[in-house]
Amino acid sequence: MHIIFILLAGLVSCHGATYDYNQLIQYSLLFYEAQRSGKLPADQKVTWRKDSALNDKGQNGEDLTGGYYDAGDYVKFGFPMAFTATLLSWGVIDYEEGYTKADSLEDARKAIKWATDYFLKCHVSEFEFYGQVGEGNLDHNWWGRPEDMTMERPAYKIDAENPGSELASETAAALAAASIVFKNVDSSYSDTLLTHAKQLYNFADTYRGKYKDALQTSRAIYPSNEYEDDLVWGAIWLYKATNDESYLTKAKEMYDEFGMILYNPWFSWDQKVTSSELLLAQITKEDPYVQRITSYCDHMISGQQRTPKGLVYIDTWGSLRMAANAAYLCLEAADAGINATAYRDFAKQQVGYMLGDTGKSFVVGFGTDPPTRVSHRSSSCPDAPATCDWINYGSLDPNPHVLYGALVGGPGSNDEYEDMRYDYVHNEVADDYNAGYQGCLAALNML
Cα dihedral 311, 315, 319, 323 in deg (nearest 10): -60
Marked catalytic residue, from 56, 73, 277, 419: 419
Residue 154 makes CB contacts below 8 A (sequence gap 6+) with 133, 134, 135, 217
Q: Going by C-beta distance under 8 Å and a sequence separation of 6 or more, which residues neighbour residue 239?
A: 245, 247, 248, 251, 283
Q: Which residue, 155 or 336, is less far from ligand NAG as judged by CB?
A: 336
The Cα 37–Cα 34 span in angstroms is 9
- Compute the least distance from the CB of residue 278 to ligand NAG, in Å: 16
Of these, 301, 420, 425, 446, which contacts ligand NAG (CB under 6 A)?
A: 301
Q: Per the residue annotation, which of 170, 428, 431, 432 is the catalytic one?
A: 428
Residue 349 binds ligand NAG (CB under 6 A)? no
Our CB check for ligand NAG shows the closer of 30 and 338 to be 338
User: What is the size of the binding site for ligand NAG (CB under 6 A)?
Assistant: 5
Q: Which is nearer to ligand NAG, 246 or 291 (CB)?
A: 291
Residue 149 or 342: the one with the smaller Cβ distance to ligand NAG is 342
Footprint (CB under 6 A) of ligand NAG, residues 309-338: none
**Residue 350 near ligand NAG by CB under 6 A:** no
- Residue 340 contacts ligand NAG per CB under 6 A: no
Minimum CB distance to ligand NAG smaller for 231 or for 334: 334
Q: Is 33 designated active site?
A: no
Of the candidate residues 268, 339, 379, 445, the single one contacting ligand NAG (CB under 6 A): 339
One-letter identity of residue 375: S
Residue span binding ligand NAG (CB under 6 A) among the ranges 272-280, 296-304, 310-318, 319-327? 296-304
If binding is defined by CB under 6 A, does position 298 make contact with ligand NAG? Answer: yes
Chain position whose Cβ is nearest to ligand NAG: 342
428 is catalytic: yes
**Piece in contact with ligand NAG (CB under 6 A), picked from 80-88, 131-139, 298-306, 360-368:** 298-306
Taking the complex as a whole, how short is the minimal distance between the CB of residue 340 and ligand NAG, in angstroms?
Answer: 9
| 36 contact partners, CB below 8 Å, separation of at least 6 | 44, 49, 66, 68, 69, 114
Per-residue CA distances from 307 to 75, 231, 353 (Å): 32, 34, 11
Interface segment toward ligand NAG; rule CB under 6 A; list 57-65, 294-302, 400-408, 419-427: 294-302
How many angstroms separate the CA atoms of 164 and 147, rounded? 31
Q: Does 342 bind ligand NAG (CB under 6 A)?
A: yes
Chain residues binding ligand NAG by CB under 6 A are 298, 301-302, 339, 342
